[in-house]
Structure 1
């Protein structure tokens, strides 16, 4: 088949190409820096792992166990970024920048309070948390040391999340990118110095994290405090503002917990299918997560843009921006699907030389590829409804879609015969049912008008 006609037909089958719509510039202005900020952290964490790896297998295992605890805490508190973005963007769109900064200051105070509570609870519980994750006696001491030291940076980490939400609400995605890159580079440099030069062991890596994240939090505080003073906003916490931030945050917390349950159950089912299935599932999940980063960047742009439009009472603009961002999500999803299918034959090679795992991974990646266009729509609509402040609906929708997934996962676990060669494929089909359920619930909400509440604050 001639190449040019085939490419022409492929272009005709894709959604409308980018850069041809009035909303494209603002979408890109927010999505591109957000994408690089999202990608920077896992890339730099790989360097951190490489440095700790020089200390031996037990130290690296301790970093992995403690890192899972810290990652879970960060994921559960990501509502500090999402909820703050929505609240600040609405007021910014309404021309009430001072009120938006007031919400942002309250969000920062809430981050400090939650961070202090996490340290108070988790520091003494560190040995139990490490044991609960199944760390061996040789790995556990390293994990406890790293976890306890790194927990001291939790308030700073949550301030970074809330500060990111403030700036995105003010339609600034560049400053969060610069802070993210600066923080991660500082972490790597300090980790190398403390571990490789000063010989502090795994504690050196943890102290590098504490120092780098504290510096990142300090950068956000400087930016937000300067803006607050410029607009005459006080820095003391407001009880009403803290209550409003906590209320919105609780709904997003429920949403996040529901998502985490799906991912944890998927891993647990894969583990019970067998070691090869678990290995293949781990790689497939990491590839899916990498693709989600790019789609999440569009969702983050959606949070800021939709909040601003609704704050300005521009319902038509919010509808038009929603439509365009969904097109972007579909376009990116189709591109990722084509890339995944094209690279699929070689994807297992960097991860395994086991032919069994290789075959399992190829089957799972087929489902991963086919999910991408729908995943694009789901991620974008999730971000749009967050930007609209529709957190209560998102919480309930996430809960019910989680309940739709659990019976499917149970069927894979208990209905398939032992040693079934297609168990992992059916697990990813169950995962696809969850994505489809999310698409239906989010799409139905977006087509209606209940989420389009105009004004500086959502009642």
Structure 2
């Protein structure tokens, strides 16, 4: 780790009354962007590789991918919750305690991951058929899922590692670790799917094997990083219970997200295989850009947590305004870029003319939502860095219940297709926007101290 850089950023976050220079924010955000973008970028490669097998394998990947995403999105407390707790301790000058949060998060990752492996083997078939209905799409998704879910403990270990390293403002090593795994698997994926020489390839199953290979490499590197730190590696039950307390709110928040995105995948799959495939393409781009925007949120988490840990509420509030402004303009730039790519990018993912004809029904919603997403994700990072998970939980549940779920299932009943699915997503984001802006304005989230009461 670059200790000089880490200390400089941490000290800067603790000086009262100063605006944090943009280069400080970027010093955390750019490596975090690489980490956040690596997984969806790999999934985009995976989507492009599988897309050339046909509409059914691509639709199966969409169903399998949305289920596998539950592993990371439903357990975000292992990364975001760990960052919030570690950042406060780091800001208070307690680095060893901050790293110990990572040790306990890793123990939780191993235990929960092994439970998910067992549950995944038992439930892959009923879940896939519940989402896609009977037929070839669900059958193909089952095989992919049973292989891919073997990597669940590895995914969670990587999340825990990212969490504590972000908390101590070390975003460079996680980037190297994640790129090592995903870079290897991006090369491996087309070989395993299509074959090479006498090896005929495994088709869709090959992409799942490549996925697990990426996760194994990254997880091993994060475990090694913990092993060289001078902190105890034994499990500490009271620290794990404290993490689970914060995790409860983040899990409920994630449940709301997943109710929305699983419903969207199910509605698209019930519309047609081509609609499901088109949704998969646009959804992967949405996920990719969401995490690109979230790089600013990672910087906000680390800097806001450190400021509050050093009892500097004024600095934390200033960071909130500053990073929200950055998020807005970043979102505008992404919206303009992907509007310009509307006819160029979709054919990269599939040559199927019917699938390509479906994509514009979702594409322009995706483009228009980027500035809104920039603000929402930036303020999510601020509130998560402050440990204000209870408010975010409630805001997300209300947004899902009022803005997304009624509209998405109504769109199925009224046959609105992908336009209906993405109209529901737009309402969900707009309600979240109002909620986080109101919370940021009150300043009630800026509770100081090495740990949040």
Task: Give the TM-score normalised by the residue count of structure 1.
Answer: 0.81
Q: Distance in 2 between matches of 1:431 and 1:212?
A: 30
Pick from 195, 214, 217: which aligns with 1:215?
Answer: 217
Q: Distance in 1 between matches of 2:132 and 2:418?
A: 24
Pick from 381, 387, 390: which aligns with 2:388?
Answer: 390
- Aligned partners of 1:93 and 1:312 also within 8 Å: yes
- Aligned partners of 2:329 and 2:371 also within 8 Å: yes
Q: Distance in 2 between matches of 1:403 and 1:217?
A: 36
Pick from 92, 97, 100: which aligns with 1:99?
Answer: 97
Q: Distance in 1 between matches of 2:334 and 2:102?
A: 35
Pick from 64, 77, 81: which aligns with 1:79?
Answer: 77
- Aligned partners of 1:130 and 1:143 also within 8 Å: yes
Change (3 A) 1:399 1:339: same
Change (3 A) 1:188 1:266: closer
Per-residue CA deviation, residues 315-334 of structure 1 (Å, 9 max, x unaligned), is 11111111110010111122
Residue 221 of structure 1: how far off its partner (Å): 1.3
Per-residue CA deviation, residues 10-66 of structure 1 (Å, 9 max, x unaligned), is xxxxxxxxxx96331221112111222222223333545666789898877765554
- Verify: 1:329 aligned to 2:327, yes or no: yes
- Aligned partners of 2:279 and 2:362 also within 8 Å: yes
Aligned equivalent of 1:434: 428
- Aligned partners of 1:94 and 1:308 also within 8 Å: yes
Pick from 295, 307, 310: which aligns with 2:308?
Answer: 310
Q: Distance in 1 between matches of 2:438 and 2:398?
A: 14
Aligned equivalent of 2:448: 454
- Aligned partners of 1:55 and 1:201 also within 8 Å: no
Larger radius of gyration: 1
Listed as ranges, the matches of 1:39-438 within 5 Å are: 39-48=37-46, 65-134=63-132, 143-191=141-189, 196=195, 201=202, 206-227=208-229, 229=230, 233-270=231-268, 281-344=279-342, 358=357, 361-362=359-360, 364-405=362-403, 406-409=405-408, 412-413=411-412, 424-425=418-419, 427-438=421-432
Q: Distance in 1 between matches of 2:294 and 2:219?
A: 23
Aligned equivalent of 2:437: 443
Moved more, 367-376 or 279-288: 279-288
Q: Distance in 2 between matches of 1:356 and 1:156?
A: 34
Residue 81 of structure 1: how far off its partner (Å): 0.8
Q: How many residue pairs align between the two structures?
A: 430
Q: Secondary structure at the match of 2:449?
A: coil
Q: Secondary structure at the match of 1:172?
A: coil
Change (3 A) 1:147 1:106: same
Aligned equivalent of 2:10: none
- Aligned partners of 2:62 and 2:276 also within 8 Å: no
Residue 256 of structure 1: how far off its partner (Å): 1.1
Per-residue CA deviation, residues 410-442 of structure 1 (Å, 9 max, x unaligned), is 55455x6x6x7xx75455344322211101111
The runs of 5 or more residues in structure 1 that have no matched partner are: 1-19
Q: CA RMSD in A?
A: 3.4
Q: Secondary structure at the match of 2:443?
A: coil
- Aligned partners of 2:250 and 2:393 also within 8 Å: yes
Listed as ranges, the matches of 1:26-41 within 5 Å are: 26-41=24-39
Change (3 A) 1:300 1:400: same
Residue 255 of structure 1: how far off its partner (Å): 0.8
Change (3 A) 1:54 1:290: closer
Change (3 A) 1:123 1:382: same
Residue 72 of structure 1: how far off its partner (Å): 2.5
Aligned equivalent of 2:7: none
Q: Distance in 1 between matches of 2:356 and 2:140?
A: 30
Change (3 A) 1:91 1:432: same
Change (3 A) 1:51 1:90: same
Change (3 A) 1:212 1:340: closer
Per-residue CA deviation, residues 301-350 of structure 1 (Å, 9 max, x unaligned), is 11111111111111111111111100101111222233344444656665
- Aligned partners of 2:78 and 2:156 also within 8 Å: yes
Q: Secondary structure at the match of 2:369?
A: helix
Q: Distance in 2 between matches of 1:53 and 1:444?
A: 42
Moved more, 271-280 or 75-84: 271-280
